[in-house]
Amino acid sequence: MNFKNKYLAELMERIIARNPGEKEFHQAVREVLESLEPVVEKHPEYIEQGVLERLVEPERIIKFRVPWIDDNGTVRVNRGFRVQFNSAIGPYKGGLRFHPSVYEGIIKFLGFEQIFKNSLTGLPIGGGKGGSDFDPKGKSDREVMRFCQSFMTELSKHIGSYTDIPAGDIGVGSREIGYLFGQYKRINNRFSGVLTGKSLEYGGSLARTEATGYGLCYFTDAMLRDHGSSFEGKTVVISGSGNVAIYATQKATELGAKVVALSDSNGYIYDKLGIDLDLVKKLKEVERKRIKEYINVHPDAEYHEGCKGIWSIKCDIALPCATQNELDEESAKLLVENGCIAVAEGANMPSTPEAIEYLQKNNVLFGPAKAANAGGVATSALEMSQNSIRGSWTFEKVDKMLKDIMENIYSNASAAAEEYNMKGNLVAGANIAGFLKVANAMLEQGVV
Ligand code: NDP
C-alpha cells in the first residue's frame, strides 16, 4: 500500500534511509504508520509535536561484546543488544531472544512492536527488547550458563526493576532466565524483580509459562465468539513447538478443538488423531529433541521436512507460533482454499503483509500479534506486581486476570477499528488503540 498522506510517505522514506538494511524494522513501522493515516488526519497535533518521529527512534540502543569460553576452552564472541524503545507509559519491558538470526534490525522490530502491545494490555509498561546472535541449540548447560553470565555482566548496568525488566523469548526459557537472574543478583547484591519468567521458587508467577499460548486462545475465542463461532469441534494447525505453541495447543484442546500439527525449524508433524501434547512436552521441554522424534512413538503420524508445508494442511483455525514472516501469501492462499476461518498470531509478525492482505480480503478473521500474543507480557507485568508486594497469587487468579485482559484487548482493538471506519480490521484497530495511549502520554510529557 502507498501512503495517501504526504507527511507519512516522507517519514517512511526517512526511516528507511536512517535504518539501512533493517527490513524487519521497516516492515513493522510501515504497518503501524499505514494504520495511523486516519488518526493523524483527525489529530494533527501528533505531527506538530513530532510524536511519530520520536516514536520510531529508540530512546537508547545498547550494543555489546559477549565473550565466553566453550567446553573445549576456546574463546567465543557473540554480540548482545538491548533496545530501550519507549518509556512514555512505564519502564521498558520486553523479552530477550537468543538466536543466530538476531541483529539490530530484528531487535528494533520487536522493540517497536512491543510499545503498542504493552500499551494494549492496559498495564504501565513501556517497550523494549534485547538478545544475542548466540545459539543455545547444541550447547551444554555449562556453556549456556557461561554465556548468560557474560551477557548479564554487561546488561546489568542498564536494567533494573524501575528501569527495564527483560524476560524470555525465542531461545530464552526458564534455564536461561535462571542463569541471568543469578548473575544479576551476584553483581548487584540485590534480590529484585529485574527479570520476569522466573521459576516459582524465586519469584516467578503461576501461569506465566502458559500465558502467551493461553492468552492467544482467549483472544481468538473472543474474536470467534464475536462472529458466532468458537473453538468447539474445530481443527487447528499451530506452527512451532516452543513455549507459545505448546500452551496454545493445550488451551485450544481444552476449548474443544483438535490440534493436528506442530513444527520446529526442521519440519512439521501431522497427526490426524490430534497431537499427543505430553509427548511433545517431553521431547521439547525436557529432552530438547527435534519434533521429528514424535513419529518414533506415533508411527501413524506423518513427519515432513521443511516448515512451510504446514499451512497446506486443511484446518479451520491457524495459529502461527514460531517466528517472523513464516506465513506468506502462498500459504495464505492454501489456508483460504482449505476453508480456514481464522488466523491469529502467537509469534511476532509471523505473517507477511501480502498474506495479511489476502486473508483479510477473503474474510478470514485475523488477530494480529500485538493484540493476540500480548498475554505473555501482560502476565509478566502481573509477575512484577507480585514481586513488588512480596506476594504470590494463585494460578486461577492470574489466569482469570489474563483472560479478562485478552478479552479487553479484543474489544478495544475492535472498537478502535470501528471508530476509524475500518470495522473488523484488527490490525488497524490494535495499532490505533496501542498508539493513542502512548502518544497522549508523550504529548503530556513534553519533547523528551
Ligand atoms: P521458543 O524458543 O520456545 O520456540 C520457538 C519455536 O519456533 C521452536 O519450535 C523453534 O524451532 C521455532 N523457530 C524458531 N525460529 C525459527 C525459524 N527461523 N524458522 C522456523 N521455526 C523457528 O520460543 P517462543 O515459543 O517463546 O516464541 C515463539 C514466538 O512467539 C516468537 O516469535 C516470539 O517472539 C513470540 N512470543 C513469545 C512470547 C513468550 O512469552 N514466550 C510472548 C510473545 C511473543 P527450533 O527449536 O527448531 O528452533
Is 274 found in the same domain as 178? Answer: no
Is 162 found in the same domain as 51? Answer: no
197 touches ligand 1 (CB under 6 Å): no
Is 40 found in the same domain as 26? Answer: yes
Q: How far away, in angstroms, is 165 Cα from ligand 1 center?
A: 20
- Residue nearest atom 17 in ligand 1 by C-alpha distance: 265
| Ramachandran bin of 151, using left for φ above 0, alpha for ψ from -120 to 50, beta for the remaining angles | alpha
Pairing of strands 60-69, 92-98: unpaired
Residues 64 and 51 sit within 8 Å (Cβ to Cβ): no
Q: From CA 204, how far away is CA 353, in angstroms rounded?
A: 36
Is 64 found in the same domain as 29? Answer: no
Q: How far away, in angstroms, is 351 Cα from ligand 1 center?
A: 14
Enzyme catalytic residues: 129
pLDDT, tens only, 57-79? 999 999 999 999 999 999 999 99
For residue 197, the ligand 1 atom closest to its alpha carbon is: 40
CA 100 distance to own-chain centroid: 18
Residue 111 belongs to domain with CATH number:
3.40.50.10860
98 is a domain residue:
yes
Q: How far away, in angstroms, is 47 Cα from ligand 1 center?
A: 36
Q: How far away, in angstroms, is 279 Cα from ligand 1 center?
A: 19
403 is a domain residue:
no
Residue 351 belongs to domain with CATH number:
3.40.50.720
399 is a domain residue:
no
346 is a domain residue:
yes
Is 342 found in the same domain as 216? Answer: yes
Is 151 found in the same domain as 79? Answer: yes
CA 214 distance to own-chain centroid: 13
Is 88 found in the same domain as 24? Answer: no
- Residue nearest atom 22 in ligand 1 by C-alpha distance: 265
93 is a domain residue:
yes
For the chain, what is the radius of gyration of the CA atoms?
A: 21
Q: From CA 336, how far away is CA 315, in angstroms rounded?
A: 10
Is 64 found in the same domain as 41? Answer: no
Residues 335 and 318 sit within 8 Å (Cβ to Cβ): yes
Edge-first strand listing for the sheet containing 126-132: 60-69, 75-86, 126-132, 92-98, 164-167
The best mutation among 101, 170, 249, 379 to test binding of ligand 1, ranked by most ligand atoms within 8 Å of the C-beta, falls on 170
Beta bridge pairs of residue 64: 80
Per-residue confidence in pLDDT tens, the chain, 448 aa: 679 999 999 999 999 999 999 999 999 999 999 999 999 999 999 999 999 999 999 999 999 999 999 999 999 999 999 999 999 999 999 999 999 999 999 999 999 999 999 999 999 999 999 999 999 999 999 999 999 999 999 999 999 999 999 999 999 999 999 999 999 999 999 999 999 999 999 999 999 999 999 999 999 999 999 999 999 999 999 999 999 999 999 999 999 999 999 999 999 999 999 999 999 999 999 999 999 999 999 999 999 999 999 999 999 999 999 999 999 999 999 999 999 999 999 999 999 999 999 999 999 999 999 999 999 999 999 999 999 999 999 999 999 999 999 999 999 999 999 999 999 999 999 999 999 999 999 999 999 9
User: Which of 159, 91, 94 lies closest to 125, judged by CA?
Assistant: 91
Is 290 found in the same domain as 147? Answer: no
Is 186 found in the same domain as 67? Answer: yes
Which residues span the domain enclosing 11? 6-55
Is 367 found in the same domain as 231? Answer: yes
For position 1, what pLDDT does the model report? 60
For residue 101, the ligand 1 atom closest to its alpha carbon is: 18
Residue 38, classified by CB atoms within 10 Å of its CB into exposed (0-12), middle (13-18) or buried (19+), is middle
DSSP 292: G
Q: How far away, in angstroms, is 120 Cα from ligand 1 center?
A: 22
Q: From CA 350, how far away is CA 439, in angstroms rounded?
A: 26
Number of domains in the chain: 3
Max Cα distance, the chain (Å): 63
170 touches ligand 1 (CB under 6 Å): yes
Distance spanning both ends of the chain, measured CA to CA = 32
344 is a domain residue:
yes
For residue 97, the ligand 1 atom closest to its alpha carbon is: 34
410 is a domain residue:
no
For residue 211, the ligand 1 atom closest to its alpha carbon is: 40
242 touches ligand 1 (CB under 6 Å): yes
352 touches ligand 1 (CB under 6 Å): no
Cell of 174: 526458564
Q: How far away, in angstroms, is 347 Cα from ligand 1 center?
A: 7
For residue 350, the ligand 1 atom closest to its alpha carbon is: 32
